[in-house]
Structure 1
Amino acid sequence: MRAGPGRDFAAGMTTLAALDAVAACMVRAQRLLFITGAGISADSGLPTYRGIGGLYHDRLTADGLCIEEALSGATMAARPELAWKHLAEIEARCRGAQPNAAHRLIAALEQEKPMVCVLTQNVDGLHRAAGSRNLIELHGTLHRLRCTACHHGRTVADYAGLQIPPECPLCGALMRPDVVLFGESLPLRSLARLEAVLGEGVDIVLAVGTSSVFPYISAPVLRALQCGIPTVEINPGETALSAVVTHRLRLRAAEALPELWRRMHPPEPAEG
């Protein structure tokens, strides 16, 4: 019988037993959907934003704004220098960061399974750097800039030496990162890709390092639960999904993924 919501911890299942159960589900699964948030990049030295130890956890920015206001489309339009200040702060903290074991092992699974898709809220580019190709960067990436007036765009390695806020070299208008700011619509193309993945069916959904506060992030997990598909949360903190997922691992992503990988790839027995 399939484990019920929150069963792993409600029934006192140990972390080791929960790891065994999740690994068994992943071995059977042919189509895996990973939904990742800032927590997966924490072991690469990047801050989360709302979670444990987050950059803006339970406090305002230095300008006295909540992060949702400072990094909003409205602020980018009315006070671009302020929005860019906080975007540049995030980029500076990302600069030089490398994919960690969680990023690398998710990318490695893509080479083994018929379908592994990563839906990420992160704008740090670490999934792509780790080798993930079936990747939906729902919130965009800091490394692509686009003009707010014309069709000019460019890719940058980082913001070092960049005039903040930058001007378009073609028309002189404001350029901005190609990311989704608070209050802005999600890209329809990315949403269509996600719907196609879900429409073709998945065998397991894993929410990794995300607070799951946005309905479009929690919705694929809840949809899977309704269909009797195993769901997993990997997060040391409490989220809106913690009480309802099939399996809950209160671990950091870079702790959990290597343990799951080892269980999925047991050593070959020595020949007698």
Structure 2
Amino acid sequence: MTDTHTLDEIAELLALARRPLFITGAGISAASGLPTYRGTGGLYANGLNEEGLPYEDVLSGYMLRTRPELTWRELLRMAQRLAGRAQVNEAHRAIAALPHAVVLTQNVDGLHLEAGSRNVIEIHGNLRELHCTVCTYRRPNEDWQNLPIPPRCPECGAVLRPSAVLFGEPLPPEALTRLDEELARGFDLVFSVGTTSLFPYIAEPVALAASAGIPTIEINPEPTAVSHLVDYRLRGDAAQILPRIVETARSREG
């Protein structure tokens, strides 16, 4: 269990910070009932779906192009398991209470924006919007349960897809540009929350901060690729730890 002294130290750093960065992964949404991906009990923990097919194949850009019914069947199966669970939790709200915070999230659930965070970089896109694979048609994705397999564009008849990055696809150029711009401006405090930090673009901001002497904090139940770099390593649930830190920090501001 994290001791109060350590939380107080981190809260003091946050109270003084003017440009904190919060890097978040699936673990921050665990308290919302959404599973993590690669951690213990994660969605992709054994690498296979119910038919024994590798997730990285079924949920890939190549599969969507060649056999869209397989990709969409898996997307809808996941949505059915998660129906009604995707609710903002206290960790999302804690970050949203910091108007000067920048959020770099791998999550495609849209919960940071729903919680009210103002500066969010969704580096893997968002499942809450559908767009056509051929034309410019876009629409909100409000009802997963009643989508046909695969859904079709009402304007040109091509397959629709979620505005989220699938396996084997490049990251959204707009999100990468925003990340580069924010990194160029710099940060004075970096949190890594609920992510295994396996992707270089997720680990890099922590590594850059650590090398520059900028304080770094990790909140995650298990060791990760950046655990050896951070100044503070908090093992536990972000929905319990982050609100305590933010509440203490806000009480010390001004």
Decide whether aligned partners of structure 1 residues 57 and 138 sit closer, same or farther in structure 2, where only a CA change above 3 A counts: same
| 1:117 and 1:135 in contact (8 A); partners too | yes
Corresponding residue for residue 55 of structure 1? 43
Q: Distance in 1 between the 2:44 and 2:4 partners?
A: 32
Give the residue type in structure 1 aligned to 2:231.
T
Aligned residue type for 2:192 = A
The within-5 A match list for 1:63-102 is: 63-96=51-84, 97-102=86-91
Structure 2 segments unaligned to the other structure (5+ residues)? none
Q: TM-score, normalised by structure 2?
A: 0.93
Identity %: 54
- The two structures, once aligned, show a CA RMSD in angstroms of 1.7
Offset at 1:173?
A: 0.7
Q: Which residue of 1 aligns with 2:104?
A: 119
Question: Does structure 2 retain, via aligned residues, the 8 Å contact 1:180–1:186?
Answer: yes
Q: Which whole-Å CA distance do the structure 1 matches of 2:72 and 2:3 have between them?
A: 42
Whether the aligned pair in 2 keeps the contact of 1:95 and 1:158 (CA below 8 Å) is: no
Residue range with higher mean Cα deviation, 47-56 or 204-213 = 47-56
Alignment size in residue pairs: 251
From 143, 149, 166, give the equivalent of 1:158: 143
Q: How does 1:245-264 map to 2 (within 5 A)?
A: 245-264=230-249
Distance in 2 (alpha carbons) for counterparts of 1:161 and 1:53: 28
Cα distance in 1 for partners of 2:246, 2:148 equals 43
1:223 is the counterpart of 2:208:
yes
Distance, in Å, in 2 between the alignment partners of 1:211 and 1:224 is 17
Q: What pairs up with 1:38-49 in 2 under 5 angstroms?
A: 38-49=26-37
Aligned to 1:133: 118
How far apart are residue 266 of structure 1 and its match? 4.4
Q: Deviations over 1:45-76 (max 9, x none)?
A: 11111112212213411122232222111111
State TM-score, norm by structure 1.
0.88
Choose which of 82, 95, 99 in structure 2 pairs with 1:106. Answer: 95
For 1:109, the aligned partner's letter is: L
The reply on whether 1:31 has 2:13 as its aligned counterpart is no
Gaps in structure 1 of 5+ consecutive residues: 1-12, 268-272
Bigger Rg, which one:
1
User: How big is the shift at 1:216?
Assistant: 0.9
